[in-house]
Structure 1
Amino acid sequence: MSTIELTQSQKSILQELVNLERESETTVTGKAIADQIDRNPGTIRNQMQSLKALQLVEGVPGPRGGYKPTLNAYNALDLQEMDEPASIPVSCNGEPAEEEIIQEINLVCVLHPEKCRAEVHIQGSVRDFRVDDILTIGPTPKSSLAITGLVEGVIHTDNKLIIRTDSMEAPVQ
């Protein structure tokens, strides 16, 4: 299957559509997407035409209409749908975060303590997180790894947080 190359604008709109559809479990209006990513609703409508042509979005007509992502949208964004995802606790600045589903944690520069980073891909929106928030993620299923660190970057188009790790702990076996 060939990979669909999306512009940053298309990717941002599609990611927000997926986030909002997961939260509401219903169709999403162009205005709702526009409000979240600070764009004009007309721009969203125009982009939705190209996303429909790429078979990433379907339009739902009527007074309760809007847009829904297709399975191709999840593939284009490299997202996985899980029936019963494992729950991983997340706390932000010492307070439990809304129930977040952690899709992936990539550790970068693990051998260099001052440069160790975690790229945390969240299944859902990262709009509630800010640079300089202190996050604790975990313990994870199976390994019981818990990561604590400072948010250095929030990448909305990928629902990803870049964390400078201060500690990584797992129980002693």
Structure 2
Amino acid sequence: MSSIELTSSQKSILTALINLHREEEGAVKGEEIAGEVDRNPGTIRNQMQSLKALQLVEGVPGPKGGYKPTASAYEALDVQEMDEPADVAIRHNGEYVEEANVDDIDLSSVHHPELCRAEIHLQGSVRGFNEGDSVTVGPTPLSKLLIEGTVDGKDDTSNVLILRIDDMRAPVEEPSH
């Protein structure tokens, strides 16, 4: 996983974008992000240029336009390496899987957001999982990322589940004043 080093201001802008995008299901206007992070819209526009260059944000033209996070945006905020794999729970059809822990989450197909897939590496067997089963992974230790998906394939020998991501979210952090 290539980790992109973001400045704290880029992180807060990206987090605001992801959270607003989740609420609105569409492109987010720079002014709204500016309001969230308490900066002026010009600053946001400049930052968005750099985030676009990093392929973390895509611009949406037109009157309903604005910015959308790419799948890589979630990864960039999730620059953790999981030191404590035991902390990441996995649920299978709504039930916690006691004997399995998530070892690694690889959001590999970020270049095809419409084929949003995640590879979930388990410590424990994937034998009980079948295509079409629903799986929830997370929250991850640092960014509290939660991934909900449907099993699209699996590799028994390396204990990997391929998920079609249905929803991916991180909680909104309340700013401490």
TM-score (norm 2): 0.49
Matched, 1:76 2:123: no
Matched, 1:103 2:139: yes
Distance apart, 1:103 and its partner CA: 2.4
Q: Any unmatched runs of 5+ in structure 2?
A: 80-91, 95-137, 146-169
Distance apart, 1:121 and its partner CA: 3.4
Give the structure 2 partner of residue 45 of structure 1. 45
Distance apart, 1:130 and its partner CA: 5.8
- State which of 144, 149, 168 in structure 2 corresponds to 1:121: 144
Structure 2 counterpart SS, 1:103? coil
Amino acid at match of 1:124: P
Contact residue 18 and residue 69 of structure 1 kept, 8 A: yes
Contact residue 51 and residue 57 of structure 2 kept, 8 A: yes
In 2, Cα distance between equivalents of 1:40 and 1:85: 45
In 1, Cα distance between equivalents of 2:40 and 2:50: 16
4+ runs deviating over 4 angstroms? none
Distance 1:68 1:120, change over 3 A: closer
Structure 2 counterpart SS, 1:59? strand
Give the structure 1 partner of residue 10 of structure 2. 10
Amino acid at match of 1:44: I
Give the structure 2 partner of residue 152 of structure 1. none
Amino acid at match of 1:49: Q
TM-score (norm 1): 0.50
Amino acid at match of 1:22: R
Distance 1:85 1:70, change over 3 A: farther
Q: Any unmatched runs of 5+ in structure 1?
A: 87-101, 107-118, 132-173
Give the structure 2 partner of residue 57 of structure 1. 57
Structure 2 counterpart SS, 1:18? helix
In 2, Cα distance between equivalents of 1:53 and 1:120: 23
Give the structure 2 partner of residue 32 of structure 1. 32
Distance 1:40 1:2, change over 3 A: same
Contact residue 17 and residue 68 of structure 1 kept, 8 A: yes
In 1, Cα distance between equivalents of 2:30 and 2:52: 13
Amino acid at match of 1:52: K
Distance apart, 1:48 and its partner CA: 0.1
Distance apart, 1:24 and its partner CA: 1.0
Distance apart, 1:126 and its partner CA: 2.3
Distance 1:120 1:85, change over 3 A: farther
Aligned-pair identity in percent equals 60
Distance 1:130 1:69, change over 3 A: same
Amino acid at match of 1:21: H
The root-mean-square deviation of aligned C-alpha atoms, in Å, is 3.1
